[in-house]
């Protein structure tokens, strides 16, 4: 195995593009090193991106936030401006693994690893985040929901890597939230999860909404029907009920030791409703 | 092919050569003789290999040795000042917060990182802060009491 720690994105892309065998990007390593240890992958090349300075930074810009691909979830949870603007994204990132894992793991890694149960991903989907991809043919930006294509599979092509995640600027009365169900109190994988982001008008009526669910389909899913069910409402009882119905309708989960199809389908509705209520309150709705 | 790495461990400049795929834990234990950090699961679940890197607690099994280049590593071996134990070490002994001891170095490093960020944690904060460390002997209660007591001493 060859290990490289380039200092520029260009150099990283160059290494990945011309790699002959299997090449992997290393950020926090909390997925990659476990898979290497288990013998599931045997990389010929590992490209460590943590020496690329812009990838280590959280930048606040006029258009929102840019979170570098090598920023750890612990660092996200220490950034006050980010917490204020996107509390749901930050709380989701803060639920991944232990303190030890938090020190290293990244939301870009969580996204690229493409587990349907990834904690930060429903929150990123709900936030309308975009992934900044660098590759041999230059830069492109895609909606985060276009990255995971199946369990453990992402849409990146050979030589490409995600350099950063962009979160839009928050305007007016906005809020987001993420909730997951686990049978323990911490250190577990989501059985079902929900991320919700809302923007309200001056009267507290929901103008924009995005709802995403985790662990109920082969990938995290953006549920447009659930968002539609609450836009134009003040999140009253009827709206919440319709939100829950739309969330359940979007589920196509598996039966496994963590939860049955029936359980996951029901809990998806409950979590979507509760996350929406928290997001609504955070947005200043009453 | 071995890679030459230069790093700081417990305040000392250290150079070592390792294979690129070797974990920091394997380097510490097998190449540098620092056997305080233990291998429990090897997959980042048990925390018995906890060390600090640039002031943050990490699992040494989930980091490559080559990644240590230019960073500051702190292991349980660097916790005491000579024969003078760190308050956490003293309180773990006083409260009998260990039996077999395999998890103890990891708990000490994680608790140290916790108290450096939060000198006066609640019991819940301690339990969440140490959730990445597993102990199959004590039932955790004695560990929590030891950390609470050490925090008190450290606050002075």
Chain A residues 61-120 within an 8 A CB cutoff of chain B: 72, 74, 97-101, 103-104
Q: How many Å apart are CA A246 and CA A225, to the nearest integer?
A: 6
The tokens for A279 are 């997001």
Any CB–CB contact under 8 A between B61 and chain A?
A: yes
How distant is the Cα of A158 from the closest Cα of chain B, in angstroms?
A: 22
Of 3.10.180.10, 3.10.20.30, 3.50.40.10, 2.40.37.10, which CATH number belongs to B3-78? 3.10.20.30
pLDDT, one tens digit per residue, over B47-60 is 999 999 999 999 99
Segments of chain B assigned to CATH 3.10.20.30:
3-78
Q: How many Å apart are CA A25 and CA A13, to the nearest integer?
A: 10
| Cα nearest neighbour of A96 on chain B | B132
Segments of chain B assigned to CATH 1.10.150.120:
87-155
| DSSP E strands, chain B | 3-9, 12-18, 50-53, 56-59, 72-74
Chain B residues with CB-CB distance to A29 below 8 A:
62-64, 67
Asked whether the beta carbons of residue A101 and residue B59 sit closer than 8 angstroms, the reply is yes
| pTM higher than the cut 0.90 | yes
Q: How many Å apart are CA B15 and CA A80, to the nearest integer?
A: 37
pLDDT, one tens digit per residue, over A94-109 is 999 999 999 999 999 9
Locate the domains of chain A by residue range.
Answer: 2-49+57-168, 173-282
Q: How many residues does chain B have?
A: 156
Chain A residues with CB-CB distance to B63 below 8 A:
29, 33, 104
What pLDDT, on the 0 to 100 scale, is given for residue B129? 96
A173-282 adopts what CATH topology?
Enolase-like; domain 1 (3.30.390)
For chain A, list residues with pLDDT below 70: none
Chain A residues with CB-CB distance to B121 below 8 A:
none
The answer to ipTM > 0.95 is yes
What pLDDT, on the 0 to 100 scale, is given for residue B1? 78
Residue environment code for B54-91, b if the CB has 16+ CB neighbours within 10 A, otherwise e? eebbbbbbbbbbbbbeeeebbbbbbbeeeeeebbbbbb
Q: How many Å apart are CA B135 and CA B119, to the nearest integer?
A: 23
pLDDT, one tens digit per residue, over B3-45 is 999 999 999 999 999 999 999 999 999 999 999 999 999 999 9
How distant is the Cα of A35 from the closest Cα of chain B, in angstroms?
A: 9
B141-155 helix and B104-117 helix, angle to the nearest 10 degrees: 40
CATH no. of B87-155 = 1.10.150.120
Q: What average pLDDT does chain B have?
A: 97
| Cα nearest neighbour of A3 on chain B | B20
What pLDDT, on the 0 to 100 scale, is given for residue A187? 85
CATH no. of A2-49+57-168 = 3.30.465.10
Give CA angle at A231 (A225, A234), nearest 5°.
130
Closest partner residue to B58 (CB to CB) among A2, A26, A100 is A100
Q: How many Å apart are CA A146 and CA A156, to the nearest integer?
A: 10
Q: φ and ψ at A228, to 5 degrees?
A: -60, -35
Q: Is the predicted pLDDT of residue B92 greater than 90, yes or no?
A: yes
Chain B residues with CB-CB distance to A37 below 8 A:
23, 42-43, 61
CA B146 to chain centre: 16
């Amino acid at each position: 195995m060859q290990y490289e720690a380039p200092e520029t994105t260009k150099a990283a892309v160059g290494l990945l593009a011309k790699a002959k065998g299997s090449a992997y990007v290393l950020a926090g390593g909390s997925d990659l090193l476990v898979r290497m240890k288990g013998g599931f992958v045997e990389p010929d090349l590992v490209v460590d991106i943590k020496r690329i300075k812009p990838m280590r930074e959280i930048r606040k810009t006029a258009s929102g936030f840019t979170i570098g691909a090598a920023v750890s979830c612990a660092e996200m949870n220490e950034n006050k401006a980010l917490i204020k603007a996107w509390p749901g994204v930050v709380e989701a990132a803060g639920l991944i693994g232990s303190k030890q894992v938090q020190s290293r793991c990244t939301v870009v890694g969580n996204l690229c690893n493409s587990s349907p149960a990834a904690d930060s991903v429903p929150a990123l989907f709900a936030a309308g985040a975009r992934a900044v991809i660098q590759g041999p043919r230059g830069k492109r930006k895609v909606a985060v929901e276009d990255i995971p294509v199946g369990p453990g599979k992402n849409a990146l092509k050979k030589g490409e890597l995600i350099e950063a995640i962009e979160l839009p600027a928050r305007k007016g009365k906005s809020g987001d939230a993420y909730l997951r169900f686990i049978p323990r109190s911490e250190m577990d994988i989501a059985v079902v999860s929900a991320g919700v982001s809302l923007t309200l008008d001056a009267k507290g009526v929901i103008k924009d909404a995005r709802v995403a669910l985790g662990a109920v389909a082969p990938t995290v899913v953006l549920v447009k029907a659930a968002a539609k069910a609450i836009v134009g409402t003040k999140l009253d009882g009827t709206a919440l009920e319709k939100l829950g119905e739309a969330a359940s309708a979007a589920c196509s989960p598996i039966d496994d030791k963590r939860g049955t199809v029936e359980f996951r389908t029901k809990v998806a509705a409950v979590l979507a409703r509760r996350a929406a209520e928290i997001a609504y309150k955070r947005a200043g709705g009453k | 092919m071995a890679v030459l790495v230069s790093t700081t461990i417990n305040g000392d400049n250290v150079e070592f050569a390792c294979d690129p795929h070797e974990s920091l834990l394997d380097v510490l234990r097998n190449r540098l003789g620092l056997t305080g950090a233990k291998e429990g699961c090897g997959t980042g679940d048990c925390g018995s290999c906890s060390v600090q890197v640039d002031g943050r607690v990490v699992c040494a099994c989930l980091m490559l040795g080559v990644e240590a280049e230019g960073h500051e590593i702190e292991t349980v071996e660097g916790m005491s000042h000579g024969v003078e134990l760190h308050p956490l070490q003293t309180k773990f002994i006083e409260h009998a917060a260990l039996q077999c001891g395999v998890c103890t170095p990891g708990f000490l490093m994680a608790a140290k990182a916790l108290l450096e960020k939060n000198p006066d944690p609640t019991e819940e904060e301690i339990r969440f802060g140490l959730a990445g460390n597993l102990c199959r002997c004590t039932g955790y209660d004695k560990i929590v009491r030891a950390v609470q007591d050490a925090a008190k001493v450290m606050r002075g």
